[in-house]
Structure 1
Amino acid sequence: MTFTNGNHITFVSHGETTLLSEKGKLKLQSHLDREEYVARVLDREAKSTPPEAAKAMTVAIRTFLQQNANREGDCLTIPDSSATQRVSASPATTGARTMAAWTQDLIYAGDPVHYHGSRATEGTLSWRQAMAQAGQGERYDQILAFAYPDNSLSRWGAPRSTCQLLPKAKAWLAKKMPQWRRILQGETGYNEPDVFAVCRLVSGFPYTDRQQKRLFIRNFFTLQDRLDLTHEYLHLAFDGYPTGLDENYIETLTRQLLMD
């Protein structure tokens, strides 16, 4: 197949791809099962290895599709474009289908999801960085949490985030972090987190989800709320070091920071 821009591709079709004429112009159109589509995009945009990076990528691909595709009856339509998603014209490889099947129906609900081959910004999964993270032993959900800190795993039919964001609480904490740095850098084990989310706690006591890098507090109105937020932030900042599990140490440091 040769396109008007001079590009040429050879592909295999088993009847799913047809050549149509629309307003005097020829175009290719494929009717694909959703998971076959996800696998084909994985083949085109990334690779099926390393597995944890590929799993994260399939979730990002599926989420982008849900957030951006147009709906025509029971079908979703989306152009094959660098502005949206690039999809392989040939059937997906076995490896890509395996990765799509492993994460079948999973999406990362919440804010808009983007991905890129090399650029890493908040809200954008970098394939290059995802491969590096997988090489360091990180799981696919940890890779997703790093790229999309305000989102959470959900399913295609129930795209609701499990994190009800508290933006004022996060903004307050972000403002305080540089002020606290001079004190905390002198504490053994301190590792300032790059990304995190502050979520509203539905019930129970405030806590830290270390894997997803989420701080759960009841609200953000009172001094007690600020104490709770600072306390949970310190648990995250000292994660992986014994003092991060020492409640007395964390509480003492919390009060020192807020009363300083």
Structure 2
Amino acid sequence: MHPAFSVIFLTTLIGVGQGLFLALYTGQLYSVIKVLPAQDSSSFYGYGSLLALVFLAAGLVASFFHLGHPERAWRSAARWKTSWLSREVIVLPAFMGTTFIYAMIHISGWNPVLFSLSEDFIVDLSLLVGALNTALAFTLFICTAMIYACIKFLQEWATPLTVVNYTLLGMASGFALSTAFAAYVESDIIHFYGGWAIALTAFAFITRSASLIRNTKIKYKSNLSSAIGIRHTKITQKAQGSMGGSFNTREYFHGA
């Protein structure tokens, strides 16, 4: 496939934003259970979440550049019952909105305690909102990946590894950015984020390699014989089957 640059920017920027939020919330959750030292609520979790929101917004803006009619973009949410693209269009703004709320809770300092699970595990508003946003982040990863994984006739994409790769690569890039952010604000948990960034990158390398190896061994369900309904062992394709170039020929065939 030869995707437009806007699609590449869309996927990369939004993935970084998702991964950065997940890194920040993981740090907060670990500090609640006393695994990591607590960080400054406003400068670390608050402004870190706003940075994630900047990447998400940039990805959203990039998405408009490969639309033939950007003014009709709102209609893409109409088929949410059957379309993974429609579901992505719905989940993305929900995730962005909840990320903004999470950031404002930390920046404003209004973070009331809701309940406690034990003497050491106290659940405040930011922790609850963060848990909801974590679910939205993983839902968004699934929706984005399933846009491609649900295309059954493209057997290279129609695999659970597509979802795994999108998730791991997004998280790896987000944790890498969180490492840089932690260094910028002089946080003492740089090694935590750096270690996870390396681990996630390694896992992503393994799963991506697995998908590439799988793709080299695919036994295609159709061939030239089944396509034209003629049983013969020596059928050779001489032309692309169309008089001129089209989206399909440019993206999936001869690159014409």
State TM-score, norm by structure 1: 0.22
Higher helix share: 2
Higher strand share: 1
State TM-score, norm by structure 2: 0.23
Structure with bigger RCO (C-alpha 8 Å, 6+ apart) = 2
